[in-house]
Structures are given as C-alpha cells and as structure tokens.
Chain A
Amino acid sequence: MIRWLLLILGGALLGGIVHLATVILLPRTATQDAYARLTPVAPVNTVVALPAPTPEKAIMPFMDPAFASAICRYDLSQGPLKLSVPVSPAYTSVSFYTRNDVAYYAINDHAAGRRVIELDLMTTAQHDQLPEDEEITAADRLIVESPTTTGLIAIRALAPEPGLMRAAQAAINGSRCGTAQPEPAPTPQPPPRPRR
C-alpha cells in the first residue's frame, strides 16, 4: 500500500518536471504559431497586406477586424532592415515580434511624431558594428535592435469607421521594408560584411 502511495507521489513530482519542461519547450516546437501561419503567405523582407479576418477564414486568431494590417517577415542575416510606414489618418502602429512571437517593441504614429514612421532594424551585433559618426548623422533615424535574426513586423492602421478602411489600407500599402541599400556616398571603412 505504502509502496503504491510512494509511486504516486514520485510520479506526481516527475509530472511537475514534465509540466515545466513542456511549457518551456512548447514555443520552440509549436507548428501553428503566428510565425508558422504567416510563413507561407509572407516572403522574407517584403511587406504583405493581410486579408481582413472573416468568420470563415482568418490567418491568425484574435485579429482586430477594425484594422488594416500587413506583415513584414524579416531575416537580418543579410544585413539591417529599413522600414518605412506612412501614417494613416486615424491611428497607425508598428509592432515587432521575435521568431517566437514575443513582442519586443512597438511604436505608434504619435510616438513617431511625423508623417512617415521610419526606422532601422538590426541585430545587436550589427548595431555594434555601426561606425559612430554614421550613428550621429543618422541620429534622426530610429534604430531598433532585434533579439533574434528572424521575426515579424506587424504594421496596422485603424479604420475608426468602416468607410475609412480604404484609407487605412492605402496607408498600409505604401509601407516598405527591405535590406538596407548601399549608401550613395560610402564612407571609407572596412566592410564588415558583404551586402546584397
């Protein structure tokens, strides 16, 4: 009798370890997370408009139907990414997610304070390689550091009334993301890594 009680107790303790291990490992093994759902429709380093969610079909659960949205699935292994998003009349936000769908940064049109939200996305290593003078001349550009090499950028514009959905979509369609082009007047410096 005691033997079985001990077995149950031991099993429960081991079960606790199993529970913690599965919770921690789940994000890395999930095959239906947002990144996996978006991979087939979103080519890398391009802005793709997402279809509005309907009761029959939505690319992700819990999408806000009042928003026009687009995704840029990024890969920084070829170099930093430049993102520009024109601001819509009502409310525009840009949210950054890691490969495992953790939000690490978001900015909205008011916080950006201009007509176009412009920023550079790079890994910490790429940020460290930026020559300092370039950082000064580029002081008005916002630099965001990505904790992972790949991830998602969600670009969203609110249509406060259904009639304004067109305008929101137009703003979204004007946004661009892509690997940084070589500067027109390159500063002499050892090239840190080949650029495409």
Chain B
Amino acid sequence: MRLLLGTLFGLAVAAVVGLGLTYLSLTRNTAFGGLSIESWTAWPKSGTTDADPYARASIARSGRLPTAMGDGVSFTLRSDDEGKHLDGRCEVVISGITPVARFWTLTLYNPDGALVANSTNRYGFTSQEIVRRSDGSFDIVVAPRATAGNWLPTGGVDRYELILRLYDTAVGVATKAGREVPMPEVTTRACP
C-alpha cells in the first residue's frame, strides 16, 4: 500500500513538473539563441531549419508561420527600456532609427497575436508611411488617444506587444548587438 501510494505520488510530481515546464517554456518564448538589442528580441534561428525544439514547439502551438531567414527578421517588444510591460492605457514613445533594411513594418498585437481594434483601423506603420526628422530618425507615439505625428492607437488594451519586422536586411543569425544594429528607444511617458 505504501509502495503504491509512493509510486503514485512520484508520478504525480513528474507530471506536474514535466507539463508545467513545457507550458511555461512555450508561453514565455524561451527559445535559445535570442538576439536581444535593448528591449527588442529576435529569434533569427527560428526562421531556419536550425530552429531548436523549443522554437519549433512554440511555433506549432501558436499556429503562426515564422519569418523566414532570407525574407527578414522579426523583433518583439514586450516592455519599455525600464522593463515596465507595455500598457495600452499609457503613452509609449518609440524613437530613434532602425537597422538598415529595404523595408520595415511595426505592428501592434495583443498577446495572442491578434490585431487590436481601434477607430482608425491603423494596426501599424511601414517604413514609408512615417514622418521623419531631417536626420532620418522618427518618433512613433503608441497611445490610446490621438496625438500629432505618427500615432499608433492601442485601443486601450492593458497589454500588447509590438513587432518590428525588417525585410531584406543583413541582420540575422550572425548579428551581435552593437552599433550596426541601432534599435529605437522605448519610453513610457504619461500613464494614467
């Protein structure tokens, strides 16, 4: 009886630990080989056949198609430069320049990967649409209410993520964080 009870207990621990770890690792995006520049993170290897088992599992689970190497690189942003998670009720400013690419797009998603509804039907910007300063740098204001300049509406959701996709770029598996890959700064300005 004690043996049976002990075995069942051990198996229960195994199930909780095993499935719990799997769930955590797949929902928190813990693929290896992430390229983190400031607050932005990309997994260039996830777009190749070298994708590790965690990346493969997380891609299969989410149902997305990863950005293939040779097409471009996707950088995900979940928090600002101070580590505070992106809040759709605040005003977040993305400012600076991006690494060299033929085109880029910046898109706002909810954590499940769906676009966020808003009154202007604007879900993101492309590199051709934004207003820049004379030196090529730009400010994008991600906020619930309309602002002058490049305004990306949040729809007032409490959590969202931004994906910056660089298309036809040299940034890839071999890239290291540094001066060649300047990513825009992210600051939370006004929070209610």
The residue that A18 contacts in the complex, of B19, B54, B117, with Cβ under 8 A, is B19
Q: Is the interface of A mostly helix, strand, loop or mixed?
A: mixed
Please classify how large the interface on chain B is, using the bins under 10, 10 to 19, 20 to 34, 35 or more.
35 or more
Our count of residue pairs bridging A and B at CB distance below 8 angstroms stands at: 205
Given contacts A55-B116, A66-B124, contact A32 B68 (CB under 8 A): no
Question: Min CB distance, A166 to chain B, in Å?
Answer: 16
Q: Is A30 part of the binding interface, using a Cβ–Cβ cutoff of 8 Å?
A: yes
Q: Are B70 and A111 in contact (CB under 8 A)?
A: yes
Tell me, yes or no, whether A134 is within 8 Å of chain B by CB.
no
B167-188 interface with A by 8 A CB criterion: 167-168
Chain B proximity mask over A1-36: 1 for CB below 8 Å, otherwise 0: 001100110111111111101111011001011101
Task: Point out residues on A near B: beta carbons under 8 Å.
Answer: 3-4, 7-8, 10-19, 21-24, 26-27, 30, 32-34, 36-37, 53-56, 58, 60-66, 90-91, 93, 95-97, 100-108, 110-111, 147, 152, 154, 156, 158-161
Pairs A–B under 8 Å by Cβ, sample size 20: A10-B10, A14-B14, A16-B21, A18-B15, A30-B61, A33-B61, A54-B115, A55-B114, A60-B65, A61-B113, A61-B114, A65-B115, A66-B126, A93-B167, A104-B48, A104-B49, A105-B68, A108-B71, A158-B105, A158-B167
